[in-house]
Amino acid sequence: MASPATPRPALIRPRASRSRSQLGAVSLASDHAAATASSGRRRDFVFVVNPSGANGRTGKQWKQLLPFLHTRLADQCNICECITSGPSHAIDVTREAIKDGADAVIAVGGDGTLHEVVNGFFWKGSPVRALDRGPDHLTALGLIPLGTGSDFARTFGWSNDPRQAIDRIVRGVKSKLDIGMMEGPNGDPHFFINVADIHLSAKAGYFASMYKRFGNLCYVLGALRGFWGHTNRDLRIKVNGGEWRTVDKVTALCVGNAKYFGGGMKITPTVDPFSGDLQVVIIQDFKWYSFLLKLHRLYGGTHLTVNGVSSIRVQSVEVAEVVPNGDVFVQSDGEHFGFLPTKFSVLPGAVDFFS
């Protein structure tokens, strides 16, 4: 639950040019009431910005983008800006914005910011709703990809051009997007929009987060460190609530709601985030040199026919160790989640998404 001290998104009023220090904590509810009284209801769009993304480039690019944003959107809606201040802040401000009746929350940054915003759409496994806008009101999700890795945007063939992203939001075409849910040993739900993964790739992602200052090279550095001392593990999986079965010598297991992770690796190449299914790709008995030799196929999405690689479509999958040691890494959307056991499932059409 968001802390009472969580600041509300600051409103950037149309035709007004103010610095961040001049933006007060303005309630969306009060602005909604004022706009309704004066000229009929204007929509409230909240832009959640991670200024430290891409080694600070996101914050600089966002400031340069604001004039274009005003030109394209200010006559249609109230533009509300929230600059995040640290980990999990985007989760809190997204929840507050939705409760206040925001019509859209747009993640501005990389996959990490999008991941937090998506988690802000939920609380204790249930969707967050506006407090005073009625049961039919839905807050849409949007994305302006500006961060180190924009793997989710790659699924749709989108470029990193933020102006094109704004144009999509202006067009207002929305689709019902699936969201992945995962539950660890404590049963608390967590959500992912892109790819969740287990063992080597998750361990590599954990280490890659330590090298973000090197841009996409961080994924290579993380993989090299992840391979150090790595051993393949026997895992148990249960698909769609069926029987447990053993999968031997697992190198990595990936659960995709979208196609890409790791800075452009097309790991779950045939998944459709509007289909109501997740794609599970299991890589078995790979050595370090196997990855090097097959890397081009992993990035190109042609690895499903490689020996030791298998794929299934699921609505849910549970994964556990055959011999529990509690040291098999799990991550979601490039963020460290914890360790096995974990259950993954899909929430079909859970969020309206600007597509």
- CB 64: neighbour CB atoms within 10 A? 9
Active site residues: 111
Determine the Cα–Cα distance for residues 204 and 207; give it in Å rounded to an integer. 5
Give yes or no for a contact between 59 and 82, defined as CB atoms under 8 angstroms apart: no
Assess whether the previous peptide bond of 127 is cis (omega < 30° from 0): no
Radius of gyration of the chain (CA): 21
- The DSSP secondary-structure symbol of 340 reads S
Find the distance separating the first CA and the last CA of the chain, reported in whole Å: 29
Helix, strand or coil for residue 351?
strand
Determine the Cα–Cα distance for residues 328 and 159; give it in Å rounded to an integer. 34
Give yes or no for a contact between 247 and 240, defined as CB atoms under 8 angstroms apart: no
Give yes or no for a contact between 59 and 89, defined as CB atoms under 8 angstroms apart: no
What value, to the nearest 5°, has the Cα angle with vertex 17 and ends 162 and 67?
25
CA-closest candidate to residue 193, choices 84, 355, 64: 355
Helix ranges, the chain (H): 28-39, 57-73, 89-99, 111-120, 151-155, 162-171, 200-208, 217-227, 288-300
